[in-house]
Structure 1
Amino acid sequence: MSETVIEALDAARAAYAQATEALRLAEAAARDVGVEVPPTIVDELTVKRINVVEDDGTLRVILGNSTVGETMPVRGRLVPHTTRTAMAGLLFVNDEGTECGGLTFGGRRREAGKEQLASLTFDDFEQNEGFRFGMVQEGSIIERYLEFSDIPDWSIADMIEEMEGLDDDAAREVQERYFGGVDGLGRSRLRLAREDDGSVRLLLRDARGRDRLRFVVPADGEPLAEILDADGVPKSLLPE
């Protein structure tokens, strides 16, 4: 693309921005004197990303393509997220500008077979997924689940801010300090799932994440119900 074309595009974008702002100001002035301004209706939009914000600019919802998860909102700013799978969807953001859940989905054909993923999650305050609902398919292996977890009370936002500017080793030490405590990790309390082995299970766990009650229907159809003690030993077993 020639420099002349680039300059023309830049000038057109600047003119468009000025015209848009002038229209906004004119509509605001009309409303101030009691003139009803009808909303603009657009039949179709083609976008890569939409940011929904409050009046003060605080980000509240992000709708985007497979790059939407490359960053995460943390206390009003976006920080890199290096471990999230590339999937399109929605990110939910709380009143303080920190991510609090999301809806993601994706699927493709690979040499190893077809793949499909989808999940809806809600986070505890400045923490991770206390609620998960989703599915994973890899070829003929399929898992569908609903899960509730107890999540630790420490702040992921605090950890991220403490890690900024550190080298890899120092950053890893910070992560280990946060995750390595007695309550460093979340614990699943309830899981209802069609597992990847073909069984259907309902698992109820205590506050330490230990299975205490299991209802299982394996793929072969022979049902099982277990009540377990704190050491994982069945106290009651049906059928005997």
Structure 2
Amino acid sequence: MALIKSLFDSATMEEQLAKMQKEITRLKWQSGILTLLLGAVGLVAFTKDDTTRFKEISVERINVLESDGRLRLVIANQSRSPGLLEHGKPYNPPVPGGNRPGLIFYNDEGTENGGLVFRGHKDEKGYYSATGHLSFDQYNQNQVLYLSYQDDNGDQNTGLHIDDWQKTPAFWDWRVDYKKAQQLPDGPAKEALLQKIMEPRPGQKAFAQRVFVGKNESKTALVSLSDRLGKPRLQLLVDSNGVAKLNFLDAQGNVTRSLSQ
């Protein structure tokens, strides 16, 4: 009986060893598969392309942001176009949006510094108006370089504009003062205040057009150079009849010398 029991125990041990061997083999396979899966996941993580491709997308507004959430560009239809922002916050008082379909650009500080805006429509009487405007703003000021197309039922002003803007105060502060002055009762006090706001220093306006290259409402092709008060002083032009001239003007706008072909 002892011998039989010993043989039975030996057989049981062999079975247990065989089971253990199978379990070890199974664990090795699982470990190998898991290692392969982790390696594949790591490879995908390091080679993943974050770009998503679309053949077509329809939206009302797209905000392009920096990684920290700062706004850099807005692409929007008219109703969802943004109001004016300075340092990422609305002007005080706010200037609402909803009227500038196109693209609005923002600088590193979240302040608007240019854009591309376009509109055009015809009213119930058949009169049309159209605008195309690409602008670049001076730091903390309004536009100083812009391409503009303005068409009021055939009266067009189209061209390149270069403006002067004062360095201080910032545009949003200047705008507040100007709007407040506009709301005053008509009279000498209002006119004097507006004059001071528009010309804070003698001989230098708050803003003035210095260069225009384009076509005006009279269909004259024109290059106009102006002084710091925005008064034209030199004009190179070809009028609608094909007459070419070079005009020199004084500070009052009078032609002091004219050279024709």
TM-score, normalised relative to structure 1: 0.73
CA separation of 1:170/1:152 partners in 2, compared to 1, >3 Å: closer, same or farther? closer
Q: How many angstroms apart in 2 are the aligned matches of 1:142 and 1:75?
A: 35
Kindly provide the amino acid, as one letter, of the partner of residue 247 in structure 2: E
List gaps (5 residues or longer) in structure 2: 1-40, 185-192
Partner of 1:37: 48
The structure 1 segments of at least 4 consecutive aligned residues displaced by more than 3 Å after TM superposition are 30-34, 157-160, 168-173, 175-180, 229-235
User: In structure 2, which of residues 47, 67, 88 is the aligned counterpart of residue 76 of structure 1?
Assistant: 88
Contact 1:119 1:133 in 2 (8 A): yes
Contact 1:75 1:157 in 2 (8 A): no
What RMSD, in angstroms, separates the aligned Cα atoms of the two structures?
3.0
Contact 1:70 1:81 in 2 (8 A): no
Partner of 1:61: 73
Q: How many angstroms apart in 2 are the aligned matches of 1:86 and 1:99?
A: 15
Contact 2:157 2:216 in 1 (8 A): yes
Q: How many angstroms apart in 2 are the aligned matches of 1:135 and 1:117?
A: 5
Contact 1:68 1:89 in 2 (8 A): no
Question: What is the percent sequence identity of the aligned residues?
Answer: 25
Deviation, structure 1 residue 199:
1.3
Deviation, structure 1 residue 217:
1.5
CA separation of 1:233/1:106 partners in 2, compared to 1, >3 Å: closer, same or farther? closer
User: In structure 2, which of residues 156, 177, 187 is the aligned counterpart of residue 142 of structure 1?
Assistant: 156
Partner of 2:140: 126
Kindly provide the amino acid, as one letter, of the partner of residue 181 in structure 1: P
Alignment of 1:183-198 (within 5 A): 183=204, 185-198=206-219
Which one has the bigger strand percentage? Answer: 1
**1:226 aligned onto 2:241:** no
Contact 1:188 1:205 in 2 (8 A): yes
Q: How many angstroms apart in 2 are the aligned matches of 1:53 and 1:31?
A: 28
Partner of 1:102: 115
List gaps (5 residues or longer) in structure 1: 1-29
Q: How many angstroms apart in 2 are the aligned matches of 1:198 and 1:159?
A: 34
User: In structure 2, which of residues 234, 237, 242 is the aligned counterpart of residue 213 of structure 1?
Assistant: 234
Q: Deviation digits for residues 102-141 of structure 1, max 9, x if unmatched?
A: 1000111212422221000111011111012011122222
User: In structure 2, which of residues 160, 164, 167 is the aligned counterpart of residue 153 of structure 1?
Assistant: 167
Partner of 2:103: 90
Aligned length: 204
Q: How many angstroms apart in 1 are the aligned matches of 2:131 and 2:103?
A: 14
TM-score, normalised relative to structure 2: 0.68
Which protein shows a greater Rg?
2
Partner of 2:220: 199
Answer with 148-157 or 62-71: which moved more: 62-71
Deviation, structure 1 residue 34:
4.9
Contact 2:80 2:98 in 1 (8 A): no
